[in-house]
Amino acid sequence: MFDKIEKMKGSVIQHGPNNDRVYLMKLAEKDTPEIIDKLHDLSLVKNYTKIFAKVPAKLVDEFMDNDFKEEASIPKFYKGKETAHFVSRFMDATRSFLSAAKKLHIRKNIEVALTKKNKNSLSKPDMEFRPLEHQDASQLVSLYEQTFKVYPFPIFDEQYIKDTMDENIEYFGAFDNDQLVAASSAEKDIENKNAEMTDFATLQDYRGKNLSYFLLKEMEKEMEAQNYQTLFTIARSESIGMNATFARQDYEFGGTLVNNTLIGEDIESMNVWYKNL
């Protein structure tokens, strides 16, 4: 069962059993503060253990006054001006718990990643890096099937890929001859001029070649050409490689989202990285 994206009055939420949470993806100002109780009620009905919200600075105090805790922030997120705050309310104390060893591991991964800042002298492999089109959808689905065991959206469905291409997601790929061997996507917030750099996937035989780094550079170039002002990612805190990829491209660390996202079969903590163009 996939997590759902749906409207809650004028706002947009994602929720479902995979991530075991409600995620307020886009908040309509007129829905505040009533939406806070609606999110709470939905989480009780569905037995979700976390409410996670992305909130503009001018509205964040409403959430903080109702037992939300800030986990991360991104300056200039909305139209290159207003900060976005990533705030959470934990409905179950175990969901908010990180052992001392886990906290240390996450901190060390961040420290290692930050040592890579501005060290971008990697050799580009002899491959083609380009945006993907409808005719690439079948190869992209095959790549995702080989990379992800489960996923909260139907990315193993060719039609879903084509539909999202026509909406707000741009997919990019690395090709060895004509074979798609790595991919990523830029999920665009067209109104607020920000984009999430996400869904990095690489075939097993091609890992360790820094393909994600060069895909990221390709996406950045395209987003900048479209006048997007802030780029960000929500990366696995366990993955030194992905955190280092963004640090190497001069992204800033924005915070850690505790026990936030289903990766494979486990709920993992995620690190927020951002870049203002």
Which domains, from first to last, does the chain contain? Answer: 4-96 (3.40.630.30), 113-276 (3.40.630.30)
Mean pLDDT to the nearest integer, 6-28: 95
Query: Is residue 195 scored above 80 in pLDDT?
Result: yes
Can you give the pLDDT at residue 1? 64
d(CA 35, CA 13): 11
Can you give the pLDDT at residue 122? 83
Q: Which amino acid is at 195?
A: A
Structure tokens given for 272: 């927020």
Distances (CA, A) of 59 to 13, 53, 187, 226: 17, 11, 24, 28
Can you give the pLDDT at residue 148? 85
Mean pLDDT to the nearest integer, 74-90: 98
d(CA 83, CA 67): 20
pLDDT tens string 155-173: 899 999 999 999 999 999 9
Cβ distance 48 to 20 under 8 Å? yes
Mean pLDDT to the nearest integer, 139-154: 88
Can you give the pLDDT at residue 263? 84
Can you give the pLDDT at residue 163? 96
Can you give the pLDDT at residue 149? 81
Sequence-distant (6+) residues with CB within 8 A of 34 are: 9
Can you give the pLDDT at residue 160? 94
